[in-house]
Amino acid sequence: TVGERSTGPLAEAPTLPLIQELLKEAPDKQQRKPQVLERPMRYMLELYQRSADAHGHPRENRTIGATMVRLVRPLANVAKPLKGPRHIQTLDFPLRPNQVAYQLVRATVIYHHQLQLAGFQLSCHVEPWVQKSPTNCSPSLGRGSSKPSLLSEAWTEMDVTQHVQKRLRNHKRHRILRLCFMCQHQKGSAGQELLWHGTSSLDTTFLLLYFNDTHKSVQKAKLLPGGLEEFMERDSSLLLRRAR
């Protein structure tokens, strides 16, 4: 309800200069409207409903632990048909530079630990990519990866915070987090060729990045980790005054 007069879409009113200015800030309207049925979107909708009410007010008892959460999908990957019981695929997740005054507090990869493909039941897990060969993932025998935890019947979560922070610190451009997505037949049936089209892993595996607003943290005089050096150097005099 908008005052006494009814309004149609304000975006189509050319005589409202402020609305026109605001529309310039919005993403391109040609952008495809997101499909609610897609698994990543469903996951984020559930996260939203747990964290905010129907009016958009953050819930007092929310456990999200961050003021911003970004779901990052893997880049498109070409599938390779494999023989045998095991399928291994590398997934590359682009990492954008942190916005000023936002600190990464947690990073997890969410994936389906059980998949059905062409009638076969597959058991899957994710591991950080270890640079043994430039193109292939090799099972790392659990070295360098944290133990995954079961979120639900469908989703499993694995913490990759240290891996992401390392990529953000060591690479200023073209930051990519590479992970290995590995599945194998639960029955261990050898010799069966399984054509993996690759799209399943793009829809069933994604990265969650949790950020907090560091500006608010500074105002509360909390200790900040070393990753905020750039922010602190810029406003060090202001921080000193506030600390006093």
Partner 1 sequence: QAGSIASKIPGPSQEHDRPESNQCSLHHFQVSFHQLGWDHWIIAPNLYTPNYCKGACPRVLHYGLNSPNHAIIQNLVNELVNQSVPRPSCVPYKYVPISILMVEANGSILYKEYEDMIAQACTCR
Residue 221 DSSP one-character state:
T
28 counts as binding partner 1 under rule CB under 8 A: yes
Binding residue (CB under 8 A) for partner 1 from 5, 24, 33, 174: 33
Minimum CB separation of residue 45 from partner 1 in Å reads 7
Piece in contact with partner 1 (CB under 8 A), picked from 25-33, 77-85, 144-152, 235-243:
25-33
Q: CB-wise, 70 or 125, nearer to partner 1? A: 70
User: 67 or 192: whose CB is closer to partner 1?
Assistant: 67
**Smaller CB separation from partner 1, 27 or 191:** 27
What are the DSSP calls for 41-92, one per residue? HHHHHHHHHHHB-TTSPBPTT----SSEEEEEPPPP-----B-SSEEEEEEE
Pair of tokens at residue 66: 């961050």
Full DSSP string of 152-197: SSSEEEEE-HHHHHHHHHH-SSS-EEEEEEEEEETT--TT--B---
Q: What is the C-alpha separation between 166 and 169, in angstroms, rounded?
A: 5
Min. distance of Cβ 107 from partner 1 in angstroms?
13
Residues in CB range of 180: below 8 A, 6 or more apart: 88, 89, 90, 91, 126, 127, 128, 129, 137, 138, 139, 140
Report residue 39 as tokens: 């698994």
DSSP state of 228: G
Alpha carbon distance, N-terminus to C-terminus of the chain? 48
Q: Which of residues 198-227 bind partner 1 (CB under 8 A)?
A: 213, 216
Residue from 4, 5, 8, 152 in contact with partner 1 (CB under 8 A):
8
Q: What is the number of H-type helices and E-type strands within the chain? A: 7, 9
From 22-30, 120-128, 145-153, 163-171, span contacting partner 1 (CB under 8 A) = 22-30
Please, what sign has the CA dihedral across residues 102, 68, 172, 110? positive
Binders in 57-76 for partner 1, by CB under 8 A = 57-58, 64, 67-73
Backbone angles phi, psi at 79, to 5 degrees: -80, 150
Residue 17 near partner 1 by CB under 8 A: no
Q: Is 101 in the site for partner 1 (CB under 8 A)?
A: no
What part of residues 159-178 is at the interface with partner 1 (CB under 8 A)?
Answer: none
31-39, 160-168, 175-183, 226-234 -> range binding partner 1 (CB under 8 A) = 31-39
Contact letters for partner 1, residues 36-55 (x by CB under 8 A): x---xx--xx-xx--xx-xx
* Interface ranges with partner 1 (CB under 8 A): 1-3, 7-12, 19, 22-23, 26-29, 31, 33-34, 36, 40-41, 44-45, 47-48, 51-52, 54-58, 64, 67-73, 94, 213, 216
